């Protein structure tokens, strides 16, 4: 059979499927290589999510020509993108799509393919606020340049030649990242190498350049080169969300995010009315400031990347307890939880905390949860993918989020339907309930199983998240998966049993303070208060003083912790959770 003269719809689909399969097979290796810009071990997972989104969208669409197919795939990549590397890849595929709009309806010939690769290289630079050499960007640029050189020098360049030399160009760029301070090699550059070799293998399956690339990454990952410390990258939290906006608004947001964080990406394409769906990503110390000032964001997910060097050591939840604080502690702040919570950070403990209270984002994330702000089922499914853990607890914050959590659980169960896969046909992927399952990965791709806790309000969710975070920190290293799961189930149940919740709305501050103080019992060890933005401004100090005095009168002041948070919800609601034994 003669070699195809175009990179058409069939070849585009095969490329995305094969690239996804390669990243599924080798994602863990990419994760272990991930040290730049943050050593959060998720490059493989993020790129896999993004490629799955592109391949899924193209499979499900009824396209009319190649330009349409490229547009559909790039839109799927934007929706599926995760993390810094995923956002850059989505921007590359958007640039590929834009370049393809001028191509013949059958697809890309060698000259258009080179133009598309060069557009992808420019897109990689455009995707980030501060481009850095020796990364994803360098590998994409090297691949594009190698393809262009072949086009210029070969008397009759073919798609097989151009894709092969582009793959070799990416490989050379990966080797050049050795010892520059991004780990043994840069994980993002390694991902681009796998994507480019997958493209080459579409036109020459016998070449198996992807297999060669894997061997190279494996060898380089064992390199013992000492690495320089990467500096200049900050941001305690990763914030991601989808946002409908104009191109002008998106550019304004990109600039604003660049002032409060780094690893900024605002990726999307606009329609004829200059409106589009943008995927937003930033690493920042101030996640609330990263939310858009106008318009409606959705699928808002926040997770903690690392400890902040400026985090107050005496405060459990990291807020400044002085003027303008979001938390007002008693002088005898927790003598147990702060030291344990500050001891180390467990990145993935399998907790998804749903909230409508922006003021709770930081403490929840610092407790180890993936935080979903304004939760719906799609956002919870997305958070489950970010956890990379086979089991997760979902902590709803109201009746609507309980329904959303159960819908998310049903969605993931349907995707994880048992399929008898024949692993003899390596490289073939199938579509199961909208998700790609790679035969070459050796079976059904793992999906997170969700356990929905019985937390029907914000304070119950919050207190349970803190308890689960502490239980994980104290016991996770000594337990296997089943025992850890049992521990967390018991912790959530015990927390619910030992907690009494009070809710006030439209009540004067003095009455609330008196009611909370009178609710204290000899069993009470912790009082957690969430104050809405429209509540009386005196309610927090009044509660603090009334509870402090009552605790002293009862002789329990030495053991009682009172933690008061501004929820920043536009409500006059005051929620109180009293924990005891």
Give the global pTM: 0.75
Q: Is 391 helix (H, G, I), strand (E, B) or coil?
A: strand
Q: CA gyration radius for the chain?
A: 26
- Asked whether 329 and 563 are in contact (CB, 8 A), the reply is yes
Say how far apart CA 481 and CA 552 lie, in whole Å: 43
The secondary structure element, H or E, covering residue 204 is none
pLDDT of residue 551: 92
CA distance 309 to 410: 40
Q: Would the pLDDT of 558 be above 80?
A: yes
CB proximity list for 321: less than 8 A, separation 6 or greater: 312, 314, 315, 327, 328, 329, 333
Q: How far apart are CA 457 and CA 282, in angstroms?
A: 29
How far from 499 is each of 235, 459, 474, 494, 508, CA to CA, in Å? 34, 10, 21, 9, 24
Cα–Cα distance for residue pair 384/368, rounded to 1 Å: 14
Q: How many Å apart are CA 146 and CA 193, to the nearest integer?
A: 13
Q: Cα separation of 560 and 330, whole Å?
A: 9
Please give the pLDDT value at position 170.
87
pLDDT in tens, 268-321: 877 777 788 888 989 899 999 999 988 889 999 999 986 544 443 323 332 333
Q: pLDDT at position 411, please?
A: 83
Q: Report, as an integer, the average pLDDT of 105-117.
A: 94
Helices (H), ranges, 305-387: 337-343, 361-366, 377-387
- % the chain with pLDDT above 70: 77
Q: Which residue has the tokens 């007002």?
A: 328
pLDDT of residue 131: 59
Set out the domains of the chain in order of their start, with CATH numbers: 9-221 (1.25.40.340), 334-360+386-420+440-497 (no CATH), 498-580 (3.30.1330.190)
Lowest-pLDDT choice from 122-126, 259-263, 331-335: 331-335
Average pLDDT over every residue of 505-521:
94
Using alpha carbons, list the distances in angstroms from residue 575 to 255, 362, 366. Answer: 37, 18, 21
Q: What is the DSSP string of 85-151?
A: HHHHHHHHHHHHHHHHTTS-TT-B-HHHHHHHHHHHHHHHHHHSSS--SSSHHHHHHHHHHHHHHHH
């Amino acid at each position: 059979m003669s070699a195809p003269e175009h990179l058409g719809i069939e070849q585009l689909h095969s490329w995305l499927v094969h690239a996804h399969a390669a990243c599924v097979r080798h994602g863990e290796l990419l994760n272990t290589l991930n040290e730049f810009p943050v050593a959060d071990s998720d490059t493989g997972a993020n790129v896999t999510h993004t490629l799955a989104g592109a391949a899924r969208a193209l499979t499900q669409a009824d396209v009319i020509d190649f330009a349409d197919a490229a547009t559909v795939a790039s839109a799927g990549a934007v929706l599926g993108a995760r993390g810094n590397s995923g956002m850059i890849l989505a921007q590359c595929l958007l640039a590929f799509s834009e370049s393809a709009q001028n191509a013949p309806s059958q697809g890309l010939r060698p000259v258009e393919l080179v133009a598309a690769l060069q557009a992808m290289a420019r897109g990689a630079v455009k995707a980030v606020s501060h481009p850095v050499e020796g990364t994803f960007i360098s590998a994409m640029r090297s691949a594009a340049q190698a393809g262009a050189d072949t086009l210029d020098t070969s008397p009759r360049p073919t798609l097989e030649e151009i894709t092969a030399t582009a793959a070799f160009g990416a490989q050379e760029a990966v080797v050049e990242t050795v010892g520059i301070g991004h780990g043994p090699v840069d994980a993002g550059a390694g991902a681009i190498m796998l994507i480019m070799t997958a493209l080459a293998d579409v036109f020459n399956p016998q070449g198996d350049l992807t297999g060669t690339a894997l061997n190279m990454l494996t060898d380089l990952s064992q390199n013992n080169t000492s690495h320089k410390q990467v500096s200049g990258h900050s941001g305690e939290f990763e914030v991601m969300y989808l946002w409908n906006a104009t191109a002008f608004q998106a550019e304004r947001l990109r600039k604003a995010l660049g002032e409060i964080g780094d690893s900024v990406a605002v990726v999307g394409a606009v329609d004829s009315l200059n409106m589009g769906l943008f995927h937003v990503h930033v690493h920042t110390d101030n996640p609330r400031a990263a939310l858009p000032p106008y318009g409606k964001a959705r699928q808002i997910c926040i997770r903690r990347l690392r400890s902040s060097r400026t985090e107050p050591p005496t405060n459990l939840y990291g807020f400044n307890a002085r003027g303008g604080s979001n938390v007002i502690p008693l002088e005898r702040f927790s003598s147990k939880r702060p030291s344990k919570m500050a001891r180390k950070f467990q990145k993935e403990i399998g907790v998804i905390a749903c909230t409508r209270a922006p003021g709770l984002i930081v403490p929840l994330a610092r407790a180890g949860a993936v935080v979903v702000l304004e939760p719906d089922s799609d956002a919870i499914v997305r958070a489950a993918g970010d956890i990379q853990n086979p089991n997760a607890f979902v902590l709803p914050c109201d009746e609507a989020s309980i329904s959303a959590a159960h819908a998310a659980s049903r969605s993931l169960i349907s995707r994880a339907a048992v399929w008898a896969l024949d692993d003899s046909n390596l490289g073939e992927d199938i579509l199961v309930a909208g998700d790609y399952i790679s035969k070459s990965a050796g079976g059904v791709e793992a999906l997170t199983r969700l356990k929905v806790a019985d937390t029907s309000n914000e304070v119950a969710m919050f207190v349970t998240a803190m308890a689960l975070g502490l239980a994980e920190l104290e016991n996770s290293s000594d337990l296997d998966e089943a025992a850890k799961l049992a521990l967390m189930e018991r912790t959530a149940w015990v927390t619910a049993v030992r907690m009494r919740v009070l809710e006030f709305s439209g009540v004067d501050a003095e009455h609330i303070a008196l009611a909370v103080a009178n609710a204290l019992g000899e069993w009470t060890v912790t009082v957690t208060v969430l104050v809405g933005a429209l509540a009386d401004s005196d309610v927090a100090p009044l509660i603090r003083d009334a509870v402090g005095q009552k605790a002293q009168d009862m002789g329990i002041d030495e053991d009682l912790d009172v933690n008061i948070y501004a929820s920043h919800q536009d409500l006059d609601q005051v929620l109180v959770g009293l924990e005891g034994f």
